[in-house]
Structures are given as structure tokens and as C-alpha cells.
Structure 1
Amino acid sequence: MEFMRVSNIDTIYKKGTGDQAVIVLHGYGASFKDLAPLHSYLDPQGLFNWYFLDGPLGVDIGMGMTGRAWFPIDMMKLQIAQMNGTFETLFADHNPEGIFEARDRVMKCIDEISQIHSKVLLGGFSQGSMVSLSCALQDVSKISKIFLLSSTLFDQDLMNEKVSGLRDIPIFQSHGQGDMVLPFSLAKRLSELLEKNVATYEFHPFNGGHEIPLNVIERLKEFLIRE
């Protein structure tokens, strides 16, 4: 693996033997290093060209440590919403502040990467999956597949308006039924919307929390290589 800049975003790149690219966006408080090891499990033959992008924002994750993020999150508001059961109003009715800026940054990367690879597969975990979905809703023309790991519904009115544009793009979604960060109830609402509007869509709920378990990795591996 090597470090590079792609359209002004720090990137870990793993060259493959094929001509397809996979762009991966990490979650809030993590970094491009966190998901980079996944390539060896998802692509043991090294067929894909992997691009792990680093979020542009530095965030304090406690104990003197910092991570990266794609857009800011008011953690106090998030925790209160989780405790009092009002999380569904936190994102579902609007776009999170800063997600459009993150989307535009990533779309510039997609533009650049699509010029040198035959296909671009896009996805991410948690906040990274939200940005991935926002990119696809804006312009899916350069994206061949989408994977959403522990994602959530946001701005339902906008999604209802634009989701038909995703009809011909295969989409993979997974979510833990015990997720304490992004509730399963909102993931299920997102799943119902996608299932109704996307021709090739698969949803993989699992017994677990805010994570990417082995059984999801196996299913995602199959999804990525499927024609």
C-alpha cells in the first residue's frame, strides 16, 4: 500500500491487477487506516484497485486522541437523542450540516479515479456510508456499485425525490440489530426505501452493534465480485 493525494484528499492506495476501483470512506472519529486492512479479506486475489480516503476534519475522540471525520457531529446532541429516543428526528428530516461539502470533495475524487479505471465502486462505514449515499443521490453516473455499512436515513424528502436515480445501481446494505450509535429502526426505513426503488438491492441485518462482522465481510466480498 502507498500514500497519495487524490483531488486534495489524503489516500491509502492498494494497486490491483484489474481495472476496477473501490473507494472506501471511514466512519466518524476513525481514519483511512482503520478500514484499509479490509482489502485483504474482501479481495484476497488483489483484483481491485483500492482507495481509502481520509476525512478532511480533525476531531477529538477523547483521552488525548484525535480522529478524522467527513462532517461535524454534535456529540452531546447525539447522546441526548440516543437517551431520550428522539434520534429519528436528528437526521431523518434534514441533511446533516457539512455533508454536502464532504460529498463535493469525494465526488471530485470519483471524477479523478473514474478517468483511470473502468468502474468505480463506492461505499463506507457509518458516516462514510452517509457521504457515499449522498454522492450517489447527487450523481450516480460514474458509480457502478454502492455499499452502505451501518448507514442511516437522512433527509427523507430528498431521498424520496432522488432515489429513483439509483434504480439500476446494485446496492448492498448491512446493519446491526443492536446498534447503539445509528439505530436499526432508521436503517430499516432506509432499507424499505431502497428495496422499493432499486432493482438489485440486498439488506443484511445481523446480531450485533455498530460494526462490520465477519459474515457481513463475506457477503460484501460476494457482492463486489458479482457481475
Structure 2
Amino acid sequence: MKMIRENDLDIIYKAGTSDKAIIVLHGYGASCNDLAPIGQMMDQSGHFHWYFLDAPLSVDIGYGMEGRAWFPIDMMGLQQALMKGSFRSFFADKIPDGFIEASEKVEALLKSLKEKHSSLILGGFSQGSMISSEVAFKNPGLVDKLFILSGTFVSESHWRDLLSHSTSLPIFQSHGSVDPVLPVSEARRLKEFLEENDQNHEYHEFHGGHEIPMPVIQSLSAFLVRA
């Protein structure tokens, strides 16, 4: 693995033996290092080219430490919404500030990578999966597969409009049944939404929180190599 910079994004890059690439976006407050070990576990033969992207924004994650983010999140507001049972309106009713700008950065990178690779698989964890979904839904034909790990709706009406112009896309979605950050109820709604919009979708719900457990890693590995 090595660190590279493309399209104004810092990236951990691991070369593969095929002409297929997997692009991975981390969650809020993490970094490009966060999911790289999972990539190693899922592709021990080194078949795919891997790109682990570092989000463009720096955010305070407490105790004098900083992480990266794709767009700002009012974490106090999120906690209040969870406690009041009003989470549905937090993301699903609007496009967050900075969301489109971040997705356009990733979109530009993917268009550049498409010149090097025959197939692009895009996905991420939590906030990274929200950006990944936006890019995939907006650009039919650019992304060949999408994986959504512990993600949620972002502006349901906006995504509904994007998918009305899209083709069927193989999608892998996973979510913990007791996720304290992004409620499973919204993941289930997203599942139904994708199925209603004729997406080639598989859903994996596990007993756990905001995480990527081994059974999900194993199922995702099978999804990545499936024709």
C-alpha cells in the first residue's frame, strides 16, 4: 500500500492484478486508514485495485483529536433527534450542507479512475456510504456495484428522482439491529425504497451496533467477486 493524491483527495492505494477497482469511503470522524485492513481481509489474493479515500474536511472528535468527514454533521443535534425519536427528518428530509460538494469530488475521481479500470465498485461505511450512494445513483454506468455499510437515507425525494433516471445496480446493504448512531428503522426503509425502485439489492441485518462484523465482511467479499 502507498499514499497517493488524486483529484485533491488523499488516498491509500493498493495495486491489484486485475483491471477492476474498489473505492472505499470511511465514516464520520475516521480516516482513510480506518477501512484499509478490511480490504486486506476481503482480497487476500490481491485481485482488485483498492482506493481508500480520505475525506476532505477535518473535524474535532474530542480529547484534542481530529478526524476526517465528508460533510459537517451537527452531532449534538443528531443525538437530540435520536432521543426525541425524530431521526427520520435529520437526513431523509433534506440534503445536508456540503453533501453535494463532497459527492462531486468523489464523482470527479471516479471519472478519472474509469479511464484506468474496466469496472468500479464503490461503497463505504456510515457517512461514506451516503456519499457513495449519491454518486452511484447520480451516475448510471459509472459505478458497477455499490455497497452500503450502516448507511441511511439522504433526502428521500432527491434520491427518488435520481433513481427514476437510473438503471438497475447491484447493491449490498448491511446494518446492525441495535445501531445507536443510525437507526435500523431507516436502514429498513432504505431497503424497501431500493427494492421499490427495481435495484438489484441484497440486505444483511445483523445483531450488533454501528460496526462491520465478520459475517458482513464474508458476505461482502462474496458480493464483490460475484459476476
Indicate the SS of the match to 1:45.
coil
Match of 1:123 in 2: 123
Q: Deviations over 1:10-37 (max 9, x none)?
A: 0000001111000000000000000011
Match of 1:28 in 2: 28
* Cα displacement (A) at 1:165: 4.0
Match of 1:152 in 2: 152
> Structure 1 residues 166 and 150, CA, compared in 2 at 3 Å: closer, same or farther?
farther
Q: Does 1:162 align with 2:162?
A: yes
Indicate the SS of the match to 1:34.
coil
* Cα displacement (A) at 1:140: 2.5
What aligned pairs does 1:12-51 form with structure 2 within 5 A after superposition?
A: 12-51=12-51
TM-score (norm 2): 0.97
Q: RMSD of the TM alignment (CA)? A: 1.0
Match of 2:71 in 1: 71
Contact 1:136 1:166 (8 Å CA) reproduced: no
Match of 2:100 in 1: 100
* Cα displacement (A) at 1:195: 1.5
Cα distance in 2 between the residues matched to 1:72 and 1:104:
16
Q: Deviations over 1:155-194 (max 9, x none)?
A: 1111222224444210000000100100001111000011
TM-score (norm 1): 0.97
Match of 1:211 in 2: 211
> Structure 1 residues 36 and 46, CA, compared in 2 at 3 Å: closer, same or farther?
same
* Cα displacement (A) at 1:123: 0.3
Match of 1:86 in 2: 86
Cα distance in 2 between the residues matched to 1:188 and 1:160:
16
Indicate the SS of the match to 2:34.
helix
- Unaligned runs of 5+ residues in structure 1 are none
The amino acid that maps onto 2:226 is: R
Contact 2:140 2:167 (8 Å CA) reproduced: no
The amino acid that maps onto 2:59 is: V
The amino acid that maps onto 2:225 is: I
Contact 1:194 1:201 (8 Å CA) reproduced: yes
Indicate the SS of the match to 1:37.
helix
Indicate the SS of the match to 2:60.
strand
Indicate the SS of the match to 1:22.
strand
Choose 194-203 or 120-129, whichever is displaced more. Answer: 194-203
Q: Deviations over 1:38-78 (max 9, x none)?
A: 11211111100000000000000001111000000011111
The amino acid that maps onto 1:84 is: K
Paired residue total: 227
- Unaligned runs of 5+ residues in structure 2 are none
Indicate the SS of the match to 1:135.
helix
* Cα displacement (A) at 1:199: 4.2
Cα distance in 1 between the residues matched to 2:186 and 2:47:
34
The amino acid that maps onto 1:59 is: V
Contact 2:178 2:208 (8 Å CA) reproduced: yes
Indicate the SS of the match to 1:148.
strand
